[in-house]
Amino acid sequence: MSYVLGVPRYANTSPLYHFLQESEELQFRYGVPTELNQWLLEGSVDLSLVSSYFYLANADRLRPLPDFSVADLGPVYSVNLFHKVPWDRLKRVALTTESATSVRLLRYLLEADGLRVEYTSEAGGLELLERYDGVLLIGDRAIQTYAGLLPALPESVHQVPWQVGGVQVTDLSMKWYERTRLPFVFAVWATRKDEPPPPAVVRKLRAARQKGLGNLETVSLAEARRLGVPQPLMQHYLWNFRYQLEAPDRLGLQAFAEAVGLAYPDDYWDV
């Protein structure tokens, strides 16, 4: 019987599994984060990348691997609020239906600034700005949208524009960093608490991550072609991530738990 991994097919997770081979013993099941979260709880996947907010809210049923994350320190470029009015004048925002963590992070950041905003869950892109002040986009859709706004590839990250035409872009990870000076953890690999991860699978995951990070140009080229964005932009995007859940990332995860009123279990598999 195959062991099933839940995988979001997003460019930002590709270094983790680009070189991981499916086999009779190890199968992938792709979905957006909200789907993967549910599949893990109901048992149709065995080990999955899950949203950090979902993990924290279900920590009595889930336990993460000790050294895997999808995290970032500063701008992440793909968890963005695109808006047509300044941040402090936002009244109505359309939310992605793909992720619980980014939605909760946006709500926290707005409330921390004393803003009261009306939220609506609705799939779509920038066309939603015709009816809303802002739209939250994540993952591939966000990076494609942002790349499409850029008039040219900047030579330096310090030249990246955060306003193009009438559209302002607020990077939620950067806003989190400005508030906490900590990384933001978007996802962790987790299993159900009563089903320890097989060590052989974890070894394969670590080997695939090592190869993915060591061959980032290859990974970024494949993802750039898939999404139709410039390869240099994709490579910079990918090397910006933190995939190891190191001490600063755990502090960031703990700070997020406290920010949204959840317990931080500090409980990881010893594998």
Element (H, E) at 29: strand 26-30
Coil vs helix vs strand at 192: strand
Residue of 93, 97, 69 whose CA lies nearest to 81: 93
The encoded tokens of residue 69 equal: 């994350």
Q: Which residues of the chain have pLDDT under 70?
A: none
Kindly report each contact of residues 113-118 with a partner whose C-beta sits within 8 Å and lies 24 or more positions away, as own/partner.
113/87, 113/88, 115/87, 115/88, 115/90, 117/90, 117/91, 117/92, 117/93, 118/91, 118/92, 118/93
Evaluated on CA atoms 195, 202, 249, 83, the torsion sign reads negative
- Outline where DSSP puts E strands in 57-198: 62-64, 70-72, 79-83, 92-95, 118-121, 134-138, 163-164, 167-171, 184-192
For the chain, domains (ranges, CATH) are: 3-71+183-260 (3.40.190.10), 79-180 (3.40.190.10)
**In this predicted model, what pLDDT tens digit does every residue of 186-220 receive, in sequence order?**
999 999 999 999 999 999 999 999 999 999 999 99
Q: Which residue has the tokens 């359309």?
A: 94
**In this predicted model, what pLDDT tens digit does every residue of 220-253 receive, in sequence order?**
999 999 999 999 999 999 999 999 999 999 999 9
Alpha helix ranges (H) inside the chain: 14-17, 33-42, 52-57, 100-112, 139-149, 172-180, 199-214, 216-227, 231-239, 247-259
Across the chain, what does the average pLDDT equal?
94
Whether this prediction's pTM lies above 0.75 is answered by yes
The confidence score (pLDDT) of residue 157 equals 82
